[in-house]
Structure 1
Amino acid sequence: MNQATSLSILSLNVWGLKYISSHRLSRIKAIAHSIRSSTYDVLLLQELWVLSDYTYLQTQISHLFPYSHHYASGLFGSGLAIFSRFEIVDTEFTEYKLNGHPLAVWRGDWYVGKGIAWAEILVSGRRIEVFNTHYHAPYGQQMDTYMVHRLSQAYQLRRQIRKALARNSLVICAGDFNSSPLSLCHMLIHSILADSFITKNPDLPVHPQPEMTNEYLVQVMGITCDTPLNSYRRHISTHDRQLRYDHLYTNMVPTSHKVVFTQNVNMAEFSGKQAIGSVSDHFGINVDLLPNLNTSSSSPDITQSSFTDILALLNKHLRRERRHSRFRIAHFWVSLVIGISLTISLFWTKFGWKSFLLSFVSNLVFVFGVIDGIVGFIWGRWEINSMMEFKSEIEREVIRDSDHHRLS
């Protein structure tokens, strides 16, 4: 194999939800068409839920990317995939311990089995460890009820990256992190592995400023999500909603960082439908890297106060989840009593619409009570125990940080 002088990485959330994502098939075809004329070396894709979409991409780009892997997990898959010009030596998938709620069926995060897609690729005789991930979505600007879940995911990923760094590996970690720059989730990774955008643009402000145009935010500030320049997000107008959620962290030398797949495409070319729009609800990022260790860049330390803030959020979330769990279990017992009472009352009710109504209501009360009881008892304990373990890990971080400052 020829000596690789640089690596070109693409990270893209393809928004591939079956039956839900608009123009999915046309957009997948447009993505494949664009990639066929690209110079990327490694593709890291998120939300590639449908296996047939993955196999379609395989058939279209396998001459450029002979090595690929689609990570299976959960009920509907992880949505994560890697395509590579270089040999994939090994792969592994680690499911996140905390990833949404089973009753939030309409959101689906709990059912898809999000996690950490790891691969080891062989580039010019050197092994590079690659991580691809997709954190739980915020689902709301004012009250982010899943912040603790994303913090747990970030910390789980952080631990895996630290092990890779301890092996003196070159590391790439990319994906849709649903986390803004310098947030707690972002800093858990950025403190051990540099955000390539910040490395390339150290003097840029972290967040959008009012005077910046939408074009400037995308082209210069690296905005990839919730920009009105995206045809699926045209309803968004305020700057504070435009986000850089897609990141690439690395200990290698970034030579360029670009936002890509920003162009609108004519869907008629791929499906016959007269629609012009973006290829996804996210823009992608393309980062070019020198395949050697970056010795001149250092990541900022995450402070003890940050870990203390995480502990405070954890304790607040634990109190809420314990309360919810108790409520669900209580609802089960109350529903059981009401359901049995309504069933008994059928013996004193003549057959007819009243009997049918009582039977229907008693069954409905009982079913919802049982579901809530199962979720409260099984899932409630599951989530609380996972959070307790996460809490103990963060407490150890606080102790280690205190000891370090005391000795220094």
Structure 2
Amino acid sequence: MQVIAQQVVKMNPDIAGFQEVFVQADRDLLTTTLREAGLPHSRYFPSGLVGSGLLLVSRYPIESDGFIRYAENGRPEAVHHGDWWAGKGLSLSTLRLPDNSLLYVANTHMHARYREGLYRATQLAQARQLIPWAQRVKGTSAPALWLGDWNNKPDNDILTPLITAGGWNLLTADKTAIDHIFGSGDPWQWHVLTHGKVTGMLDPAAKIPWSDHAARWIEVELQKHP
């Protein structure tokens, strides 16, 4: 967690979303380090027995937030997977930007597949549950970022109906990945200036990474159509 915090500081983001930050001490380390780096606002979303794992840290004030817990979340007897006990879902926050406009920021961690098809029905149910919320945000005409570990490629039959319903655009561009950042908002134009991923090794000799997922990042310019 110390290395992850240091890496995020180097990236100097305005908004950072984390998944699987279940431990209070880890959240404290991240929020304290990033607060000192100019991101003073943070929210964690408790859920289930061990928490959602979702943490949002922002340079901009967080004016409101909520949490949508997935109704289908795996199996309680699959303790080695842990998704049911975590109470996964999607956090949805509103941030006040410097020009006084509002930005929605959503963060999620959908159920993993593990073996092919094992949790396909669960993933379908989770994506279907988010469709009304994506449509509701779309109806506000406000810009929105949808980020997280989706555990699916962006053009498969799990995510495509959700992307279509919400009017989302893939900002991270990598269609082979399962971690994505989407942008939405009909009057708004997302100009991706640059994007990429960050990963590294705690111990190169032992091939121990500092995370089992690469960090996905984007630098964007947001403009409203006249």
TM over 0.5: yes
Residue of structure 1 in register with 2:106 after alignment: 131
Write out per-residue CA displacement over residues 142-199 of structure 1, whole angstroms, 9 at most, x where no aligned residue. Answer: xx1211211111122222121011011101001000111311122023212111134x
Structure 1 segments unaligned to the other structure (5+ residues): 1-27, 199-221, 224-242, 268-273, 296-408
Q: Tell me the secondary structure at the aligned position of residue 178 of structure 1.
A: coil
Structure-2 separation of matches of 1:77 and 1:146: 20
CA distance in 1, matches of 2:194, 2:45: 26
When residues 50 and 294 of structure 1 are mapped into structure 2, their CA distance, relative to the original with a 3 A threshold, is: farther
Is this contact kept in 1: 2:18–2:55, CA < 8 A?
yes
Residues 264 and 276 in structure 1, CA contact (< 8 A), matched pair in contact too: yes
Aligned-partner SS, 1:107: coil
The residue number in structure 1 matching 2:211 is 280
> Is the 8 Å Cα contact of residues 97 and 103 (structure 2) preserved in structure 1?
yes
For residues 33 and 129 of structure 1, do their structure 2 counterparts lie closer, same or farther at Cα, with a shift above 3 Å needed?
Answer: same
2:224 and 2:136 map into 1 onto residues whose CA distance is 16
Tell whether 2:33 aligns with 1:96: no
CA contact (8 A) 1:118 1:130 kept: yes
Would you tell me which structure has more helix in proportion to its own residues? Answer: 1
Q: Please state if 1:171 is matched with 2:144.
A: yes
Conservation of the 8 A alpha-carbon contact between 1:259 and 1:283: no
Using the TM superposition, name which of 250-259 and 125-134 deviates more. 250-259
Q: Residue 79 of structure 2 corresponds to which residue in structure 1?
A: 105
Q: Aligned letter for 1:278? A: P
Deviation at 1:113, TM superposition (A): 0.3
Residue aligning to 1:155 = 128
Task: Please state if 1:289 is matched with 2:192.
Answer: no
Instruction: Check the 8 A contact 1:257/1:285 in 2, yes or no.
Output: no
Q: State the 1:94 CA deviation.
A: 1.1
Q: CA deviation at 1:259?
A: 3.1
1:250 paired with 2:183, answer yes
- Residue 48 (structure 2) pairs with residue 74 (structure 1): yes
Mapped to 2, the partners of 1:188 and 1:77 lie a distance apart of 28
Contact in 2 for aligned 1:261/1:283 (Cα 8 Å): yes
Alpha-carbon distance in 1 for matches of 2:79, 2:202: 32
Q: Give the % identical residues.
A: 27
Mapped to 1, the partners of 2:85 and 2:193 lie a distance apart of 36
Aligned to 1:31: 4
1:259 matches 2:192: no
Match of 1:55 in 2: 28
Q: Note the alpha carbon deviations across 1:93-132, whole angstroms, 9 max, x for none.
A: 1101111011212211111000011110001201001110
Q: Match of 2:161?
A: 188
Whole-angstrom distance in 2 between the partners of 1:195 and 1:265: 30
Deviations 1:51-87 (A, max 9, x none): 1100111121212210001110000000001000000
AA of the residue aligned to 2:102: R
The one-letter amino acid of 1:128's match is L
Distance 1:49 1:294 in 2: 40
| Equivalent AA in structure 1 for residue 192 of structure 2 | T
Give the match's secondary structure for 2:57: strand
CA distance in 2: counterparts of 1:175 and 1:293, whole angstroms: 25
CA distance in 2, matches of 1:158, 1:287: 24
Structure with more strand by fraction: 2
> In 1, are the aligned partners of 2:42 and 2:56 still within 8 Å (CA)?
yes
The answer (yes or no) to whether the contact 1:177–1:246 under 8 Å persists in 2 is yes
Query: How far did residue 275 of structure 1 move?
Result: 5.7
**How many corresponding residue pairs?**
218
Separation in structure 2 between the aligned mates of residue 85 and residue 275 of structure 1, nearest angstrom:
36
User: How many Å separate the matches in 2 of 1:294 and 1:262?
Assistant: 36
From 60, 65, 73, give the equivalent of 1:86.
Answer: 60
Contact 2:72 2:125 in 1 (8 A): yes
Specify the SS of the correspondent of 1:43. strand
Q: TM-score, normalised by structure 1?
A: 0.51
Q: Distance in 2 between matches of 1:85 and 1:247?
A: 21
Residues in 2 aligned to 1:294 and 1:104: alpha-carbon distance in whole angstroms: 48
Contact map agreement 1:131 1:172 (CA 8 A) in 2:
yes
Structure 1 position 34, deviation (Å): 1.6
AA matched with 2:183:
T
Pick the structure with greater CA Rg. Answer: 1
Aligned partner of 1:121 among 91, 95, 101: 95
